[in-house]
Structure 1
Amino acid sequence: MALDIRKFIQRFIEEARDHLSNMGEGLAALEQGGGDAELINGLFRSAHTIKGSSRMLKLVPVTETAHSLEDLLSALREQRVSASPGVCSLLYQGVDALTDLVEQLTNNPDPAALTPVNSQLCQALKAAAEEQQLLSVEPAASASVPEVIVAPEVVQEASNPALRTSDTVRIRLSKLEELIKLMGEVVSSHAGFRELVDTARQLDRRGQLEGRGELPAAWHQFTRNLRETVIAQEDLMQELHDKALQMRMLPLNIVFEPASRLVRDLARSLGKQVECRIRGAEIELDRQMIDQLADPVIHLLRNALDHGIETPEARQAKGKPSQGLVSLSARQDGGWVELEISDDGAGISLEAIRSKALKKELVTPEQLETMSDQEVMDLIFLPGFSTSAMITELSGRGVGMDVVKRSIVDGLQGVISMHSTPGEGSRFVLRLPLSLAMMRVLLVQSAGHQVGFTAQYVAELISMPETALINVADRNAVIIRNEFVPVVNLAELIGLPALPEERRLLPRTEKDLLLLVTRVHHEKLALVVDELLDERDLVIKQLPEHLRDRPMIAGMVTTGHNRLVSLLHVPCLMDMARRSRQPSAVSATTAKTEKQRRILVVDDSLNTREIERDVLEAWGYQVTLAENGQDGLDKALADDFDAVLTDVEMPVMDGFTLTARLRQDERYSNRPIVIITSREKESDRRRGIEVGADAYIVKGSFDQNSLVDTLRVLLD
């Protein structure tokens, strides 16, 4: 069935208008000498987005004009040309040409009705990008002064043709958004009534405890009725908010359908044979999410086609079908949607990533040596990273995976992860909330202050005695289910001053530590907080414009009595915790004078690997990391290590099997192998010794000095 792209034109018009408006403001600042890197990057990204979206809809004049504009902005970004008056004039003409084309689409959404591209303007833009003499540009004969046309934004009608006109009503999207926002505020502010109910119940109990006599039965009945009424109202308001939000929900097919056409068109232009499979396109997301999701999906698909899927000849030579496969799938998981974009292409070359990271000085050789394969893969999310040997029209000019990650993590409050097997393909998983209008939030008290965390970053909340903390490489950690997890005090991490007792919501109590365990991908961080205040669905408010340069704060929420509370951004907190790590106070002389030994650390927990690495590096050892037994075996056999430290419970291959396999290799038949595990049973200890381990350390009694002393004895 042929794809009717006209139904997507309205969305493109709305998106393009926003980008062109931003470009107009940006060019005004550029012309006045405010051409900083971020401003030029913003102009470049807007042109890049318009180019990509228009290509999907076969809007050829728009695509070619935006591409030429992107050429010149790329040259500006790379400082090959300067923002001279002539260059600014050309940029303005390019934006005006795009504006004219977009307004033509408003009058007539047929792509075939667009005026031909202004080739003279495109040539002038390209010439300026190549530092050639600026060409004067005459207005195209078909160009007209753009009119200001007010087009109503409408909610997408249901596709059921049986609906009669009287069954539907069109409203402006802005009015619907005002309604949803208002409903969210009502739901959030209703929390104040719950607090009043709790206060009434406490007064009731206090009166009885203080022996003031039996309170009137009418008072007891009043408090019960009040509580039941408030609960009933909460349920009704939540249902009303959900119904209002459903009116703004749109199916993922709006993103998936044009994306599948893009795959076919790009494959044809690259001379590749590709099948595009789609599943879960009927799942719905908030319109606000849909609008921001298209660009990351398009970028991932372009990368899959340009760098992932091989040519038919190359695939046949590898024993693969000549036709490649790209899959887009979605599934709903409670209040979340998981999108998966995968291909069966060449996969991601770890060596290419390592080489590019070193070449661009994103990491040092020493840092690269200690990284696991997954950590190396995650380097593609760093700004400016690209493994492409050359810049192409399809894969862009440095609009890399960092932009995709920023869109998903910062813009959509989601999580992106990547998995790849060389020769078999790559898979990107995007986990997103159904809506940004309201999210589950945990409110906690730290140093007397209220702060919030969105639930998707919270793994668990646990209480444990302070004696459970262990000191590893001059920082605190705790062992949670066979995994070392770093521990930091939240107030100290973000610099919160302690409030006096009279200003605290809850009094300070002397008891066990309360740890809020946060998680991003495979990394965990335990934050020490005072109390858990509440957990509920709240409206997320954006920060004011002048505060949006604070990456630590993701937004604001309103609690009872209209109290504004900051919502902390967990990925940023983890970065802050990493930067705050101080090297161990081990004698530098010791590290320099001792012969640097090479140690292989094998553990499936990212936190455990990093902590053990920090301990060993502080004592002058050179450390390489592996994330499971098979990865450890491969690295051990491909390289030469003085000792191996391994966990037991790991996927693919456990530590016992790894130890036995290493002992079969002549090089490792007598070299130290130390098992570090949470298994305390004597039978496990015996098995460790039987397979060839030289030492067996239980994580529950882990001591960094004991580990180092054990290694020294075994190595000497």
Structure 2
Amino acid sequence: MSLNIKLLSVKFTAEAAKHCNQIEKELLTLEARGFSPEILDSVFRAAHTIKGAARMLKLTGISTVAHRMEDVLELLRNGQSRLSQEVIDLLLKGVDTIRQLLAAVAALAPLPESLPPVCFELEQFLHKDTAENQEKCPDQTSAKVTEDHIQDDAANITHNFVQIRAERLDELIQLMGEVVSFQYRKKQQASIVRDIMRLSTTSLALASYQTLTTAQTEPVRNELATTLAAIHSQLSKFQDSLRNDAVIENLLTADLQERSLKIRMLPLATVFDKINRVVRDLTRTTGKEIEFQVEGGNTELDRKIIEHLGDCLLHMVRNAVDHGIELPQDRVIAGKKPCGIIRLSAFYDSGGVTIVLHDDGAGISLDQIKTTAVKKRLLTEDAVNTLTEIELLDLLFLSGFSTSPIITDISGRGVGMNVVKQTITEKLKGSVRIQTRAGKGTTFLLKVPITLALSRMLLVAAANHTFAIPTYSVQEIVMVPASQVIHVVSKRALRIREQIVPLEELETILSCPQTAAHERSELLIILLAAGAERLGLIVDTIISEADMVIKPLPSALASLALLSGFTVGSNDEIISVLGVTALLKQARQNKLPAGISSKTDSQKQSKTILVVDDSANTRDIVKSILESYGYQVDLAEDGLDAIEKTDKKVYDAVITDVEMPQLDGFSLTSHLRQDERYRQIPVIIVTSREKAEDKRRGIQVGANAYIVKGAFDQTNLIETLKNVIG
């Protein structure tokens, strides 16, 4: 019998990916807690399993890497080598290499014929003197941030597969048996209906005897009465049967639905564990000390939601490391412990899941947000001073908005938080809000539904139409006398438990024809919440609450921002699903401060950029990229050449390398900042130097962005340039 190699490869990649996750998680535990024979044995067994399975499929590259890792782990188990950061780095590099090779196998791509470089690094480590292994300290820059391929490779390997616990599958099969057996009762009901139809036919026949004499009608009348009584009895039984079956059917289908959804559920630990590795690598790169804490990793969500959450959490964690947690010496000066804390937790909450990301860093400066908003011409100074703390923090979710003094390959471009909010509110139908305290830290609270397959909806009526509202956005429902409505800044509002909540008619927000709803003595109000915002939505009536399948809007209606989808009611009525975040935004527009400005056409005209690099090839590449996006470009071959050009002309931005003859990029930037004309002109440093001290020096001399050439690509450069000059 021939083996199905393709099927075996698919199973192998999924299983090996799980072992890679286990190895990575346990290596990070060893690094944090120190030597543990039990954990080391577990890592050894996982590497051994990968090696054996890869050999069977003749995947030489994977089996060799796993074998070399196994040899290194054997040294640690036998006490011939000590556990150190160097060996942890090397083993993690082996895990990353296996992941990359697994992604190629999953994509049915050929593996390289030569062995991966990490094999030789592991071999070299094996032949080193044990004492040397104990004494050598790894270079600070050796820890690369690997979250991109950690996520992408794992996603490629497991995208079409979900592991199901056997007991869950058994429960589902058993439940399906009950549903099938329930069909027998339907057959019995069909038999009762046939009997009723037969009796009714007899009754109609008896009723047609109109020519009978009085003496003849008495027996017919008696028979007809008996038949009608039988029909009534059968109908009564049928009614009871239908009523009981409806209850049973509801229970069975609800149970079937719940267990079916559980099959696609995954624990948040699948995301949290990967972020642990990212924090570890970013900590090494930035020179900071960070303890990463996780709570609620067993909280389960729909796999579709977890797939979207991964990137969102990664963006926020990168920001927490880069902007939130201070350097050890700065924390000590501030009276804190040198080691910062980033805590990621999750718990079930009101029919959904709340995810909390907290850091005990410096917090977010509201003054810096105001300064940035004015500098980017999003708001005037008068307008920005009228914003509440919630409204100021919401500015962080705007595209291109960043308070960071410099853009790096880790964060600071202002694109991440915009993507986070769009994903959470639009794709996942959830909410996100920020809490911060100066010097104490920042907390992000994300609330998402457990699944997108079915949503619990509150059905309401307004302006003679039915609308659906997700129940996870409904805080409470109140009926209040119209006399309790107050007016705040020319808007209607209601005081609820010492809080002022703005009120809006649903029909007004949706621009529906006005009814007499506001003339009633009492108002029915749905209190909605999204993040820290609340809105009292006035509706005519509440119809019901139900679990419903939500479908996306047709492309022709996709521009209707206030609607997030549609569903079908019990009478085949098309019901619009309201987008709560968009409703809050629409309601808020009436109180937006005056003075919001927009860029004019003259400000959008072509910008002129000076590119400074001693490599002619690099200059030409950057020039080609910039010109393809409509920028005008001048070139300078070193710092002195750049000074000559900037003396004659004022550019909209300067992009410079660091290592150049005659005058380097740091000195050039410092020189430009002493020129009155160039004090506010953006300077972007693009260099191969990736050490934390080089990035800090870039900040000190006045650079606006710092891009490491290893993380450089066309999109990266253009996004950065658009962020600093528009």
- Shorter-chain TM-score: what band? 0.5 to 0.7
SS in 2 for 1:258: helix
Separation of aligned partners in 1, 2:427 and 2:511: 25
Question: Alpha-carbon deviation of 1:248?
Answer: 0.3
1:398 aligns with 2:408: no
2:466 to 434, 439, 450: 450
Deviation readout 1:188-230 (Å, 9 max, x if unpaired): xxxxxxxxxxxxxxxxxxxxxxxxxx99576555544433321
One-letter code aligned to 2:107:
T
Separation of aligned partners in 2, 1:259 and 1:113: 31
Question: Alpha-carbon deviation of 1:259?
Answer: 0.5
One-letter code aligned to 2:359:
D
One-letter code aligned to 1:496:
C
Summarize the alignment of residues 362-511 of structure 1 with structure 2, pairs less than 5 Å apart. 362-395=378-411, 397-497=413-513
SS in 2 for 1:361: coil
In structure 2, the partner of 1:30 is none
Question: Alpha-carbon deviation of 1:583?
Answer: 10
For structure 1, which segment, 342-351 or 238-247, has the greater mean C-alpha deviation from structure 2 after superposition?
Answer: 342-351
Separation of aligned partners in 1, 2:410 and 2:569: 47
1:7 aligns with 2:18: yes
Q: Kindly indicate whether the alpha-carbon contact (under 8 Å) linking 2:324 and 2:361 is maintained by their aligned counterparts in 1.
A: yes
The gaps in structure 2 that reach 5 residues or longer are 1-14, 22-91, 118-155, 180-228, 595-726
Assess, with a 3 A threshold, how the Cα gap between structure 1 residues 108 and 323 changes in structure 2: closer, same or farther. farther
Q: Kindly indicate whether the alpha-carbon contact (under 8 Å) linking 1:272 and 1:323 is maintained by their aligned counterparts in 2.
A: yes
Assess, with a 3 A threshold, how the Cα gap between structure 1 residues 257 and 152 changes in structure 2: closer, same or farther. closer
SS in 1 for 2:559: coil
Deviation readout 1:637-683 (Å, 9 max, x if unpaired): xxxxxxxxxxxxxxxxxxxxxxxxxxxxxxxxxxxxxxxxxxxxxxx
Assess, with a 3 A threshold, how the Cα gap between structure 1 residues 577 and 335 changes in structure 2: closer, same or farther. closer
Assess, with a 3 A threshold, how the Cα gap between structure 1 residues 359 and 396 changes in structure 2: closer, same or farther. closer
Question: Alpha-carbon deviation of 1:105?
Answer: 5.6
Q: Kindly indicate whether the alpha-carbon contact (under 8 Å) linking 2:401 and 2:413 is maintained by their aligned counterparts in 1.
A: no
Q: Kindly indicate whether the alpha-carbon contact (under 8 Å) linking 1:250 and 1:290 is maintained by their aligned counterparts in 2.
A: yes
Deviation readout 1:328-358 (Å, 9 max, x if unpaired): 1111225221111111211112222121111
Percent sequence identity is 35
Please identify the structure whose Cα radius of gyration is greater.
2
In structure 2, the partner of 1:136 is none
1:559 to 562, 566, 569: 569
Summarize the alignment of residues 521-540 of structure 1 with structure 2, pairs less than 5 Å apart. 521-540=531-550
Question: Alpha-carbon deviation of 1:452?
Answer: 0.7
1:251 to 251, 255, 267: 267
Separation of aligned partners in 2, 1:357 and 1:304: 21
SS in 2 for 1:561: coil
Summarize the alignment of residues 161-200 of structure 1 with structure 2, pairs less than 5 Å apart. none
Q: Kindly indicate whether the alpha-carbon contact (under 8 Å) linking 2:351 and 2:450 is maintained by their aligned counterparts in 1.
A: yes
Separation of aligned partners in 2, 1:115 and 1:444: 61
Separation of aligned partners in 2, 1:5 and 1:256: 19
For structure 1, which segment, 477-486 or 381-390, has the greater mean C-alpha deviation from structure 2 after superposition?
Answer: 477-486
Separation of aligned partners in 1, 2:256 and 2:157: 31
SS in 2 for 1:460: strand
SS in 2 for 1:363: coil
In structure 2, the partner of 1:593 is none
Separation of aligned partners in 2, 1:534 and 1:324: 49
In structure 1, the partner of 2:358 is 342
SS in 1 for 2:266: strand
Question: Alpha-carbon deviation of 1:274?
Answer: 1.4
Summarize the alignment of residues 553-632 of structure 1 with structure 2, pairs less than 5 Å apart. 553-580=563-590
2:318 to 302, 305, 324: 302
Q: Kindly indicate whether the alpha-carbon contact (under 8 Å) linking 2:168 and 2:259 is maintained by their aligned counterparts in 1.
A: no
Q: Kindly indicate whether the alpha-carbon contact (under 8 Å) linking 1:478 and 1:485 is maintained by their aligned counterparts in 2.
A: yes
Assess, with a 3 A threshold, how the Cα gap between structure 1 residues 286 and 533 changes in structure 2: closer, same or farther. same
One-letter code aligned to 2:552:
Q
One-letter code aligned to 1:154:
F
Question: Alpha-carbon deviation of 1:398?
Answer: 3.1
Q: Kindly indicate whether the alpha-carbon contact (under 8 Å) linking 2:428 and 2:448 is maintained by their aligned counterparts in 1.
A: yes
SS in 1 for 2:576: strand
Deviation readout 1:82-110 (Å, 9 max, x if unpaired): xxxxxxxxxxxxxxxxxx99646634899
Q: Kindly indicate whether the alpha-carbon contact (under 8 Å) linking 1:273 and 1:324 is maintained by their aligned counterparts in 2.
A: yes
Q: Kindly indicate whether the alpha-carbon contact (under 8 Å) linking 1:57 and 1:258 is maintained by their aligned counterparts in 2.
A: no
1:548 aligns with 2:558: yes
Q: Kindly indicate whether the alpha-carbon contact (under 8 Å) linking 2:432 and 2:530 is maintained by their aligned counterparts in 1.
A: no
Separation of aligned partners in 1, 2:270 and 2:501: 41
Q: Kindly indicate whether the alpha-carbon contact (under 8 Å) linking 1:9 and 1:109 is maintained by their aligned counterparts in 2.
A: no
Deviation readout 1:569-596 (Å, 9 max, x if unpaired): 1121122122245999xxxxxxxxxxxx
Question: Alpha-carbon deviation of 1:62?
Answer: 11
Question: Alpha-carbon deviation of 1:239?
Answer: 0.6
Question: Alpha-carbon deviation of 1:537?
Answer: 1.4
In structure 2, the partner of 1:156 is 163
Separation of aligned partners in 2, 1:245 and 1:538: 14
How many correspondences in the alignment? 418
Separation of aligned partners in 1, 2:402 and 2:364: 11
Assess, with a 3 A threshold, how the Cα gap between structure 1 residues 323 and 511 changes in structure 2: closer, same or farther. closer
Assess, with a 3 A threshold, how the Cα gap between structure 1 residues 431 and 5 changes in structure 2: closer, same or farther. farther
Separation of aligned partners in 1, 2:534 and 2:164: 44
One-letter code aligned to 2:161:
V
Assess, with a 3 A threshold, how the Cα gap between structure 1 residues 582 and 264 changes in structure 2: closer, same or farther. closer
One-letter code aligned to 2:162:
V
Separation of aligned partners in 1, 2:335 and 2:157: 57
Separation of aligned partners in 1, 2:364 and 2:295: 24
Question: Alpha-carbon deviation of 1:284?
Answer: 1.0
For structure 1, which segment, 285-294 or 348-357, has the greater mean C-alpha deviation from structure 2 after superposition?
Answer: 348-357
Question: Alpha-carbon deviation of 1:373?
Answer: 3.2
Separation of aligned partners in 2, 1:420 and 1:292: 25
One-letter code aligned to 1:535:
E
Assess, with a 3 A threshold, how the Cα gap between structure 1 residues 56 and 426 changes in structure 2: closer, same or farther. farther
In structure 2, the partner of 1:106 is 107
Separation of aligned partners in 2, 1:151 and 1:424: 39
CA RMSD of aligned residues (A): 4.2
Q: Kindly indicate whether the alpha-carbon contact (under 8 Å) linking 1:274 and 1:324 is maintained by their aligned counterparts in 2.
A: yes
Separation of aligned partners in 1, 2:281 and 2:546: 46
1:313 aligns with 2:324: no
Assess, with a 3 A threshold, how the Cα gap between structure 1 residues 426 and 112 changes in structure 2: closer, same or farther. farther
Assess, with a 3 A threshold, how the Cα gap between structure 1 residues 56 and 382 changes in structure 2: closer, same or farther. farther
Assess, with a 3 A threshold, how the Cα gap between structure 1 residues 551 and 152 changes in structure 2: closer, same or farther. closer
Deviation readout 1:466-525 (Å, 9 max, x if unpaired): 3333344433333333333322221122122479x9xxxxx9997632222222233322
SS in 1 for 2:571: helix
Q: Kindly indicate whether the alpha-carbon contact (under 8 Å) linking 2:525 and 2:537 is maintained by their aligned counterparts in 1.
A: yes
TM-score (norm 1): 0.52
Separation of aligned partners in 2, 1:494 and 1:521: 22
Q: Kindly indicate whether the alpha-carbon contact (under 8 Å) linking 1:462 and 1:516 is maintained by their aligned counterparts in 2.
A: yes
The gaps in structure 1 that reach 5 residues or longer are 11-54, 64-99, 117-148, 171-175, 184-213, 502-506, 585-716
Assess, with a 3 A threshold, how the Cα gap between structure 1 residues 547 and 101 changes in structure 2: closer, same or farther. farther
In structure 1, the partner of 2:294 is 278
Separation of aligned partners in 2, 1:236 and 1:581: 50
1:515 to 514, 525, 528: 525
Separation of aligned partners in 2, 1:434 and 1:495: 32
One-letter code aligned to 2:257:
H
Separation of aligned partners in 1, 2:115 and 2:459: 53
Q: Kindly indicate whether the alpha-carbon contact (under 8 Å) linking 2:352 and 2:472 is maintained by their aligned counterparts in 1.
A: no
Q: Which has the higher helix share?
A: 2
One-letter code aligned to 1:155:
V
Separation of aligned partners in 1, 2:586 and 2:364: 29
SS in 2 for 1:562: coil
Deviation readout 1:255-306 (Å, 9 max, x if unpaired): 0111101100111011112111111111111001111000000001100111
Separation of aligned partners in 2, 1:405 and 1:463: 32
In structure 2, the partner of 1:228 is 244
Assess, with a 3 A threshold, how the Cα gap between structure 1 residues 324 and 445 changes in structure 2: closer, same or farther. same
Question: Alpha-carbon deviation of 1:9?
Answer: 8.6
Q: Kindly indicate whether the alpha-carbon contact (under 8 Å) linking 1:518 and 1:525 is maintained by their aligned counterparts in 2.
A: yes
